[in-house]
């Protein structure tokens, strides 16, 4: 089997669902972690500048923000590694499923690889069989990890439940900033509201961002409108929206991974191949 034929069969056996899910996962995690990190930094600056003059009032908030930023670093690293592992598992199990249905007669770890490596002229030396044997041993080692789609389904299911909580939490700052932005729109257009401009406020204490004894803790009227017009507020608001979109994309990718892995596992189980192949 020639190199082009081998590449064509690999493309035929490509797990397109896993490829799409991996792309969404990488995109979503990068967007969530990158934008979330910068949005938290912007929130810290807004609190320090406009909502409290006493460091002790927001000291705990800053510690939480810094701790969560470190969690973001770990989350990004984990999901990039786990996404690559899920993609490799998708290639492995999809190849086995297509082999069962006869659409993918040889796998990269099977006789096709041996024939490609060892089928050359005899005068090329004895390194061909050794190289093929080494690659087959590598594939066998990978198979011990990737030949269990049921475990990947379970782990991904747990991660999806956890990420649902992350997705819900990422909506909270978007909700807070949206309420503040809506209040600013009411201040900018007093004819659209019956309330006095001086009574329209954004209170950080109400959302638990600052303790109730923080001073001033809230900004009202024209002062709040001037904050909403700053680039810091606008940028932070849009960064939180982008982080929310990234969390949604990651959630969709995890659900796609679950569907693809569950299908592969069900087919292998139904055809009597079990979870080891």
Residue keyed to tokens 């001037």: 226
Query: For the segment 176-227, what is each residue's pLDDT rounded down to a tens digit?
Result: 999 999 999 999 888 777 778 888 999 999 988 888 888 888 999 999 999 9
Query: For the segment 248-269, what is each residue's pLDDT rounded down to a tens digit?
Result: 999 999 998 888 878 777 776 7
83: helix, coil or strand?
helix
Domains of the chain: which residue ranges? Answer: 3-167+232-270
Q: Is the pLDDT of residue 58 over 60?
A: yes
Question: What value does the mean pLDDT take over residues 222-240?
Answer: 94
What pLDDT is stored for residue 123 in this prediction? 46
Query: For the segment 131-173, what is each residue's pLDDT rounded down to a tens digit?
Result: 445 545 545 555 555 556 667 788 889 999 999 999 999 999 9
Q: Give, in order, the Cα–Cα distances in Å from 83 to each of 80, 110, 156, 195.
A: 5, 25, 10, 51
Give the chain's mean pLDDT. Answer: 78
pLDDT class of 112 with cuts at 50, 70, 90: very low
- For 179, residues 6+ apart whose C-beta sits below 8 A from its C-beta are 202
């Amino acid at each position: 089997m020639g190199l082009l034929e081998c590449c064509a069969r690999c493309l035929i056996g490509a797990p397109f669902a896993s490829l799409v899910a991996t792309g969404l996962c990488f995109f979503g995690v990068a967007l969530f972690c990158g934008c979330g990190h910068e949005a938290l930094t912007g929130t810290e600056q807004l609190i320090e500048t406009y909502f409290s003059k006493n460091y002790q009032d927001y000291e705990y908030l800053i510690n939480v923000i810094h701790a969560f930023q470190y969690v973001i670093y770990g989350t990004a690293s984990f999901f990039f590694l786990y996404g690559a592992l899920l993609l490799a598992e998708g290639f492995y199990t999809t190849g086995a499923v297509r082999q069962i249905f006869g659409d993918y007669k040889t796998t990269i770890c099977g006789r096709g690889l041996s024939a490609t490596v060892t089928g050359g002229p005899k005068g090329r030396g004895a390194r061909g069989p050794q190289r093929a044997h080494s690659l087959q041993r590598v594939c066998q080692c990978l198979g011990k990890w990737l030949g269990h789609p049921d475990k990947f389904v379970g782990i991904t299911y747990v991660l999806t439940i956890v990420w649902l909580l992350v997705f819900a939490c990422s909506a909270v700052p978007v909700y807070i900033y949206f309420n503040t932005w809506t209040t600013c729109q009411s201040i900018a257009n007093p004819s659209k509201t019956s309330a006095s401009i001086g009574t329209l406020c954004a209170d950080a204490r109400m959302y638990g961002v600052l303790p109730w004894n923080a001073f001033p803790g809230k900004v009202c009227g024209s002062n709040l409108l001037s904050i909403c017009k700053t680039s810091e507020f606008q940028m932070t608001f849009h960064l939180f929206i982008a982080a929310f979109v990234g969390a949604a994309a990651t959630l969709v990718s995890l659900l796609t991974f679950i569907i693809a892995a569950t299908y592969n596992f069900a087919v292998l189980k139904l055809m009597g191949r079990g979870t080891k192949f």
